[in-house]
């Protein structure tokens, strides 16, 4: 079993800026190479899940309906290109809500695995790709290999102050996909 968990903003689409949210379809812009990367992972047999914190809903900045419209738009373009997202998980709670689905907690990852009747121990290759410390923490907490992309919220200098270290730091989802596929084809390892 091969799994890739992807954050959304800053990984698949352009990061809207600190304190901002993608609240309309017209504000959702795919990053260069993102769709092709998802298509490539799909062809390699990865089960791909999007796991994203979207607290703007909990703050009343946009509705769950608007979030769903943006999600449908994203999935339509990915599917049309030949990619497949198995499921999307959005935590719409505010950061102070204490829910288990908000990264760095692993509630959404656990729901994804439960839907497959698997645990992370069944995964031969499990990756978490994100643009922020909370993504890397969620990946570590879930037992995944972690890849930080610098196409969103953080820069390489920001990582120096972190108390955790991603397995890889790359420029984009395209580069992350190259690592995932290279490890898969050149460095086979036993299931954990």
Helix axes 34-43, 64-81, angle to 10 degrees: 60
Q: What is the dihedral of CA 7, 32, 63, 105, to 10 degrees?
A: 10
Q: Positive or negative, the Cα torsion across 78, 147, 144, 2?
A: positive
The verdict on whether 9 is a catalytic residue reads: yes
Tokens in use for 89? 């998980």
Q: Using CA atoms, how far apart are residues 18 and 44, in angstroms rounded to an integer?
A: 34
For the annotated catalytic residues, the residue numbers are 7, 9
């Amino acid at each position: 079993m091969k799994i890739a968990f992807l954050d959304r903003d800053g990984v698949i689409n352009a990061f809207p800026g600190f304190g901002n949210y993608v609240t309309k379809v017209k504000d959702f812009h795919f990053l260069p190479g993102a769709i092709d990367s998802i298509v490539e992972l799909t062809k390699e047999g990865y089960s791909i899940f999007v796991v994203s914190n979207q607290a703007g809903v909990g703050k009343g900045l946009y509705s769950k309906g608007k979030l769903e419209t943006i999600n449908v738009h994203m999935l339509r373009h990915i599917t049309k290109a030949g990619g497949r997202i198995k499921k999307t998980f959005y935590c719409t709670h505010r950061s102070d809500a204490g829910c288990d689905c908000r990264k760095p907690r692993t509630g959404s990852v656990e729901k994804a695995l439960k839907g497959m009747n698997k645990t992370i121990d069944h995964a031969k290759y499990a990756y978490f790709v994100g643009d922020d410390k909370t993504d890397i923490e969620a990946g570590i907490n879930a037992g995944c290999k972690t890849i930080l992309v610098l196409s969103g919220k953080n820069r390489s200098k920001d990582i120096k102050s972190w108390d955790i270290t991603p397995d890889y730091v790359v420029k984009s989802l395209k580069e992350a996909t190259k690592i995932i596929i290279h490890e898969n084809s050149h460095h086979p390892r036993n299931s954990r």
